[in-house]
Structure 1
Amino acid sequence: MFRLRNCILPHLLFSSRRSSSCITPLHRLLSGSAATTASNPFTVADYLVARCGLSREQVLKASKIKRILDLRSPSKPDAVLAFLAGLDISGTDLTTVIANDPRLLCTDVGKTLSLRVAELRSLGLSSHQVGQVVIAAQIRFRSPSFLRNFEFWLGLFGSFDELLRFVKMNGNLLSVNLEKVAMPNLALLQRCGMEISDIPNTFLSRILVRSTEHLQETLARVSEFGIQQGSWVFPFAFMRFAILNREKLDSNIQLFEKLGWSRDDIASAVRKAPNILSLTPERVHKKLDFLMGVVGLQMAVIVYRPVLLLHSVERRLLPRYYLMKFLKNRGLMSSSLSFLTIASMGNDNLLDKLVHPHEMSVPGLAAAYASSCAGKHQWELLDDMTKGKRKRKC
């Protein structure tokens, strides 16, 4: 468990055309300079293509940046490329770095880049690790708040690898305002009884950089559904609501209202399965078409068991429906065992109860079910094989 208080309090105390190859190899990036003569003048567009490996679209985007257009010789960008290559950044990654932040080519190596790298090295990072940070941080590497943010999150997450994982998911961690956003958000999570180690990385990386006002609105919205802090569902509802804007939530609520769900129905369903409010209309309709049109469930049943809407039709619901029909048609499964029960079973439990016991009498059953889960339905073939076996026995 992370010690949020210990991490927060200390910080609160401080007030042209592209060349034939898609990506230029690294040795070409570093070999020589573009000749600046009357017959072969230096042009930014040619340099970005020939030396940095940018595409035509990327060059057009970079050409809108005044500092890039003001370059009159290759000396400064050449120095930048050579410096970055010394950080074990490959040619492919170097192209990505420049495409994401063309202004980096205008940076003074001695006054800016060398100093920034020295600061990171003083934290114990190797040259290779610094190179990884440059790639992941993108434009934020040049941000005035970069180093302070990096130190803060490094202390909070506990290791370089863990921090790098988060930065790759959301680089805004390295530029977010610590005092106005990050620290208040961490304090809010703590007041709600949530430790950051309890929150999945994909959610946490986005929650930490949302405005604190948005998170406070999220708390109010969660409360509107009758979800109390301390309940098992609270963290799941909070995480899901926190990464959605109010318009998206309202739109999804209206979707279920149009399907005939009352406000009480929606609130009850959200308390059981908060993630239903993140489903797209297409996914909701597809699952309802299957559950009601194929399986024959009533809407009231789905309202009571909303988790059904979170299951994949192709990878879970349909294969289990086919399995149920196959076994019931052969008298291998009790007719009282419902689709709802089968749909809610864990995979290992389902295999132990409905597949493995019949593998001797129905060779190929396990393979047919596995293929069905992969989107390749072989139930008719299995049906023909078992029918043929019975005829031969007769």
Structure 2
Amino acid sequence: MLHLRKIFLSASHVPTPSLPPLFPLHRLLAATAPASPEPFAVEDYLATTCGLSRPKARKASKKLAHLKSSSKIDAVLAFLAALDISPSGAAAIVAADPQFLCADVELNLAKRVAELTGLGLKRSQIARLIPLAGASFRTASLGPNLAFWLPVFGSFERLLRAMKVNGGILAADLEKVGKPNLALLQQCGISVRDFSDTYLTRVLTRLPEYVQNAVLYIDKLGVPQDSPMFRYALMAFAFQSQEKIDRKMGILEMLGWSQDDVLTAVRKMPSMLTMSEERMQTTVNFLTRDVGLEIPYIARRPVLVMYSYERRLLPRHSLLNILNAKGLLYPELDFYTVITLTEKKFLYKYVHPYEKSIPGLAATYASYCAEKVPDEVST
């Protein structure tokens, strides 16, 4: 890291109000780079100088194999240092977008910074934007896209939160993707500012035909657009084909669910259709066959299907069976009430009170949760 430290120390003496002082450094680095009789070892350089782990350096080097020297890399690192991006931050940028190191500082990166500064962004904000923007930071569409999305989200901070969920916002084609999706959401009464930090943000960069089809399908299901469930349904349906959704609903019918049962469950919890077909079938079979729940009961409480079979449903059901065998449970105990308890409350109500009367109970339950076969509890 000694070489990288020198680069960052030398860059710290560069005035920060404007970027031109970086460019003499770029030329100096290029001019003074010692010639090496051996081929430039990109992987080693990324690991020893850029601070990447060896696996990340190996992966990144595949996209930088054409580099013959460190001059471009050093210039880009100096550029990042001038924006007060730490060495670890620079390493994260390189790991996520190795070709960032191939960008021309004067003709590309500096121009992007000038454009963003013209939009009112501070250098500290630009430094925070770069890791999230990825490859789109190096494109000419960066400025226009940012100029469009900033007022849509209402602030730089909201836009930044949205980019943490969906890094493709600044890369999406505004005319073909961004604007049509935004207009459709607005027609549905949805404000982008309301979900800047949720997965619904991903809908903005989905192909518009998928979003349009999702809206039509949700309307057919009878989910009101002013209902919170409409947004969850949009997230569930905009990223799956109609055929896949129909197939999952068909699986429920094959498991004995009536169409009314299916519609009741989906309207209450559209996200259940984001489950894999195998997981859905396994969970429903467990609830009906092993637990003995009636299908209408499950349909009115579809969150039961969403809980992890391995980490919650099976461990808690197995523990309840132990307590039931000892006659320690009320006959009218509601399974839904038990399953929806937090882990802390479940332990408080159904494990800790019985540890003395049933030695090994806590360890047995922990084994269930760890998906291990437990020893028999003492009888």
Q: Which of the five TM-score ranges fits, normalised by the shorter chain?
A: 0.7 to 0.9
Aligned residue in 2 for 1:337: 333
Aligned residue in 2 for 1:310: 306
Q: How many residues align?
A: 354
Whether contact under 8 Å (2:368, 2:374) holds in the other structure is: no
Whether contact under 8 Å (2:72, 2:102) holds in the other structure is: yes
Task: After superposing the two structures, state which structure 1 stretch, 293-302 or 181-190, moved more.
Answer: 293-302
Aligned residue in 2 for 1:10: none
Q: Once the two structures are aligned, what percentage of the paired residues are identical?
A: 39
Residue 64 of structure 2: which of 62, 79, 89 is its match?
62
Whether contact under 8 Å (1:358, 1:365) holds in the other structure is: no
Give the CA deviation at 1:170.
1.7
Task: After superposing the two structures, state which structure 1 stretch, 265-274 or 244-253, moved more.
Answer: 244-253
Aligned residue in 2 for 1:233: 229
State the alpha-carbon separation in 2 of the partners of residues 116 and 200 from structure 1: 24
Aligned residue in 1 for 2:24: none
Aligned residue in 2 for 1:13: none
Aligned residue in 2 for 1:86: 82
Alignment of 1:26 with 2:4, yes or no, is yes
Task: After superposing the two structures, state which structure 1 stretch, 109-118 or 276-285, moved more.
Answer: 109-118
Aligned residue in 1 for 2:161: 165
- In structure 2, the CA distance between the partners of 1:113 and 1:261, relative to structure 1 (3 Å rule), is same
Give the CA deviation at 1:60.
2.1
- The 5 Å alignment of 1:112-261 reads 112-123=108-119, 125-199=121-195, 201-261=197-257
Give the CA deviation at 1:145.
1.5
Aligned residue in 2 for 1:36: 35
Unaligned ranges ≥5, structure 1: 1-22, 64-68, 388-394
State the alpha-carbon separation in 2 of the partners of residues 74 and 325 from structure 1: 66
- In structure 2, the CA distance between the partners of 1:318 and 1:79, relative to structure 1 (3 Å rule), is same
- In structure 2, the CA distance between the partners of 1:209 and 1:261, relative to structure 1 (3 Å rule), is same
Aligned residue in 2 for 1:391: none
- In structure 2, the CA distance between the partners of 1:366 and 1:182, relative to structure 1 (3 Å rule), is farther
Q: Which amino acid aligns with 1:27?
A: R
Give the CA deviation at 1:279.
0.9
Q: Which amino acid aligns with 1:98?
A: V
Task: After superposing the two structures, state which structure 1 stretch, 267-276 or 117-126, moved more.
Answer: 117-126
- In structure 2, the CA distance between the partners of 1:100 and 1:325, relative to structure 1 (3 Å rule), is closer
- In structure 2, the CA distance between the partners of 1:192 and 1:118, relative to structure 1 (3 Å rule), is same
The two structures, once aligned, show a CA RMSD in angstroms of 4.1
Give the CA deviation at 1:306.
3.1
State the alpha-carbon separation in 1 of the partners of residues 185 and 121 from structure 2: 30
Give the CA deviation at 1:24.
8.4
Q: Which amino acid aligns with 1:36?
A: A
Whether contact under 8 Å (2:85, 2:127) holds in the other structure is: yes
Deviations, residues 87-121 of structure 1 (Å, cap 9, x unaligned):
23333442343344444334332343223223434
Give the CA deviation at 1:310.
1.0
Unaligned ranges ≥5, structure 2: 11-28
SS at match of 1:62: coil
Q: Which amino acid aligns with 1:55?
A: A
State the alpha-carbon separation in 2 of the partners of residues 40 and 226 from structure 1: 69
SS at match of 1:201: coil
Whether contact under 8 Å (2:261, 2:296) holds in the other structure is: no
Give the CA deviation at 1:173.
0.6
Task: After superposing the two structures, state which structure 1 stretch, 256-265 or 215-224, moved more.
Answer: 256-265
Whether contact under 8 Å (2:133, 2:163) holds in the other structure is: yes
